[in-house]
Amino acid sequence: MTRAAALPLPPAAGGLREGDPPGRRSWAVLDGPLGLESGVRLADVRLAYETWGRLAPDGSNAVLVLHALTGDSHAAGPAGPGHPSAGWWDAVIGPGRALDTDRWFVVAPNVLGGCQGSTGPSSRRPGGAVWGGAFPYLTVRDQVAAEVRLADVLGIGRWASVIGGSMGGMRALEWAVGHPGRTGSLLVLAAPAASSAEQIAWGSTQIAAIRGDPNWRGGCYHDAPPGSGPHQGLGLARRIAQVTYRSEAELGARFGRRAQPGELPSQGGRYEVESYLDHHAAKLVRRFDAGSYVVLTEAMNAHDVGRGRGGVARALRRADMPALIAGIDSDRLYPPAQQARTAALLPGADAPRLIESPYGHDGFLIETEQVGALLGELLPPARETP
């Protein structure tokens, strides 16, 4: 059997590295240290972000779009230098699209703790050394606190809407509960008000896969030679996650029990579904940092808008703004019953919506026509902007 030529070894840490093309990113450096819930004061914080459209003089047309776990600021636009893939919501954001950039000023930041330009484990700390395993523990509230400071830098006092799916939906809910005066409306897709025991279990299993890799080295591997990062652990984490992102029916219809062409599982070869998981694992280790994966997954596990606020129901009553909460009918990671409970507790929420999709959790990225229809319901009628 002839195999394709081997790719160059992946860097020890994926993601944006010093000297890489910036693409269309901009950076905001936060003024002063950022106080974290843990008590740590994180200095020299910067957030990478991208924008589309033009901010109105009164700032009234600003929309915040928040990405999922392995997403980044490149929500729209083509692939190119600095952006190995096209925007993850390219069909939603742009002139004449659901988030019409002739009307709205759209901002998409890379989350604090990420690896696509924002401060995270692969960043250099004050003094010049890479943070690595010394990077502090983060919560979703810490990440939103950084985004609040970004809004201040951009001169945006109140978002017309805050929008997010999956991990981005967690941050959107935290915006609405923690900063209701700065959140004009809310769209949450496939995300809970608090992570459940099962969701924590899935996340913890992925963290354990990474930390169990001999090349993890306590999170201090970023200056190691290519090929010597915790790629096996990160790849295994991605394989686990990918199964939760898709539905059983879709995997069955797409792959069944078919063997990979030219390979016999009875002789050590792979099934097609195994090849699919291998493909996603190999892609991720080249574009994402294992340390960021751990930090962000820990933050998702800790997500609970009711923590310290008298419980979820009481906390959600703070978020009194127009809201749409949508689940995906085939989502087994964040099942739609969670979104229904959230919608029932939000004062300004309409009835919970259901996105129909065979693709499972990933439906919020794939079913862009249905997402666009939800945006059309939520956002106010068009008006002229200068």
Which is catalytic among the residues 67, 331, 357, 362?
331
pLDDT reported for residue 381: 66
Note the pLDDT tens digit of each residue in 354-380.
999 999 999 999 999 999 999 999 997
Which is catalytic among the residues 67, 83, 179, 361?
361
Helices (H) and strands (E) in the chain, counts: 11, 10
Which is catalytic among the residues 166, 195, 292, 330?
166
- By percentage, how much of the chain surpasses pLDDT 90? 93
pLDDT reported for residue 382: 59
Q: DSSP string of 8-73?
A: PPPPSS-S--TTS--TT-EEEE-SSPEEPTTS-EE-S-EEEEEEES---TTSTTEEEEE--TT--S
331: annotated active-site residue: yes
Note the pLDDT tens digit of each residue in 12-40.
999 999 899 999 999 999 999 999 999 99
Q: What length is written for the chain?
A: 386
Residue 380: CB atoms within 10 Å: 11
204: annotated active-site residue: no
Map residue 295 onto helix, strand or coil. Answer: helix
pLDDT reported for residue 186: 98
pLDDT reported for residue 385: 42
Burial of 350 from C-beta contacts in 10 A (0-12 / 13-18 / 19+): middle
- Predicted model pTM: 0.96
Helix, strand, coil shares, percent, the chain, to 5: 35, 15, 50
Q: Residues 258, 287, 290, CA angle at the centre, nearest 5°?
A: 95
pLDDT reported for residue 180: 98
Quote the CA–CA distance of 339 and 343 in Å, as a whole number: 6
Tell me the average pLDDT across 104-115: 98
| Cβ 162 vs Cβ 175: under 8 Å | yes
- Identify the structural domains of the chain with CATH numbers, from first to last: 26-378 (3.40.50.1820)
pLDDT reported for residue 383: 54
- Mean pLDDT, the chain, whole residue set: 95
pLDDT reported for residue 189: 98
Alpha-carbon torsion (80, 83, 87, 93), positive or negative: negative
280: annotated active-site residue: no
